[in-house]
Amino acid sequence: MNKHILVTAVAVCLATAGIAQAAPASGAQGQGPTSVSAHLSATQRGAFVAQIVGAWGAYVQQVYGASTAAWAQRMQATFSAATDSNLQRAARMKTFQGMMDALVGQHLTDAQVLDSLTAQAQALGSGAKPALLGSTTADLTFTPLANCRIVDTHVVGGPIAGGFTRSFKAHTTTDFTAQGGATSRCGIPANPSVLMLNVTTLAPTQAGSLSVYPYGTTKPKDANLNYKVGQNVNNEMAAKMTIGSATDDFTVYVSGTTDVLIDVVGYFMAPQATPLDTTLSDTTATIIPAGDSSSSAIVGYTSCPIGYVQTGGFCYAGSASGVYLTGVGQGYCAFRNLSGTDQSVYAYQLCARIPGR
């Protein structure tokens, strides 16, 4: 395998354009070749390099401040020196450090890499924190749930006495039978920031008001709903939860004695960072021998699939001697063929989109 060909032929020609990504909690993985082969052709090696650059270019720009193009150029020697098996292993890794280690023959698993990084963070006193695209109180995303009963005091516990509180579980239990509710966890994840609740007063024996607030906090001044004797009133509300370890998750206060029904209809959580969804569009072209040493052939990129945007490019001059990459531009690669025979050259376009709906 003439690995020196990869050094001279591979170039990344477009910097990441307008896509910022938080460091992946478990790394990023681009789409591309994943089969294992003992011996790779120059074209196959180029495709694996393109997969790695496409998967991690945005991450490098976000975390290290280096453009995709600059990072890929600095990595050429490392890519070229990697054995076929190490290059393939690196393309499959889901952590950045794991990918870098794999290139130089350090065969750690992603889990081992994460354990090592966590230990380092804890040693520095920073602790291990999940990568987020937003905070736990702002930039929240809403997920609707099928209407599911989590509290029915008419079934369990009896009416809440006027002027008193009763606390309940939401995300810290696997079913709600102890609260008169469903036998499932109703689709509620661990530690949601806010639950969307439909709260109903059932046959109040006193007029009053009702408030829902996080367990262990001070009751707010404003009520979530008001009711009269015998009046069944309901209101859908966004109720903050107590995050972390606590005896209960939220508290209900009533100023007048009443039974209470509570259904969950959705939840808000901080968005989790996810790897970019990347793909590789490639163009293969045959170029004839150049008439003179200054003649070049232009090969344009194939358009990105619908819904994806162009984030970078990758040019490969092939494995034959006498074929050179002479220039790159917005959407194309320029090659010169001085080999004397027709040769195949390759223009790869890195395409990406933020995953989700």
Distance CA 234, CA 143 (A): 21
Mean pLDDT of 231-251: 85
Average pLDDT of the residues of the chain = 78
pLDDT band at 14 (very low <50, low <70, confident <90, very high): very low
Mean pLDDT of 137-160: 88
Any idea which fold 141-269 has?
A: Jelly Rolls (2.60.120)
**Better-predicted residue by pLDDT, 131 or 123:** 131
- pLDDT surpassing 50 at residue 34: no
pTM as predicted: 0.47
Mean pLDDT of 48-56: 87
In the chain, domain spans: 3-130+275-353, 141-269
**Better-predicted residue by pLDDT, 128 or 54:** 54
Mean pLDDT of 12-38: 36
Distance CA 12, CA 236 (A): 53
For the chain, the maximum distance between any two Cα atoms, rounded to a whole number of angstroms, is 98
pLDDT band at 124 (very low <50, low <70, confident <90, very high): very low
What pLDDT, in 10s, does the model give residues 300-338?
888 888 888 888 778 888 887 888 888 877 778 888 888
- pLDDT surpassing 80 at residue 32: no
pLDDT band at 206 (very low <50, low <70, confident <90, very high): very high
What the block records as the tokens of 118 is 């966590």
Using the CB atoms, write b or e for 186-196: b if 16+ within 10 Å.
Answer: bebeebbbbbb
Percentage of residues of the chain with pLDDT beyond 90: 25
Burial of 315 by CB count in 10 Å (0-12 exposed, 13-18 middle, 19+ buried)?
A: buried
Of the spans 19-23, 206-210, 265-269, which averages the highest pLDDT?
Answer: 206-210
213 SS3 class: strand
- pLDDT surpassing 60 at residue 25: no
Cβ-Cβ contacts under 8 Å for 122 (sequence gap 6 or more): 128
- pLDDT surpassing 90 at residue 182: yes
- pLDDT surpassing 70 at residue 9: no
Report the pLDDT value the prediction gives residue 132, as an integer from 0 to 100: 52
What pLDDT, in 10s, does the model give residues 253-286?
999 999 999 999 999 887 766 677 888 888 888 8
Mean pLDDT of 170-198: 91
| β-bridge partners, 348 | 282, 314
Report the pLDDT value the prediction gives residue 63, as an integer from 0 to 100: 63
Report the pLDDT value the prediction gives residue 204, as an integer from 0 to 100: 96
DSSP state of 111: H
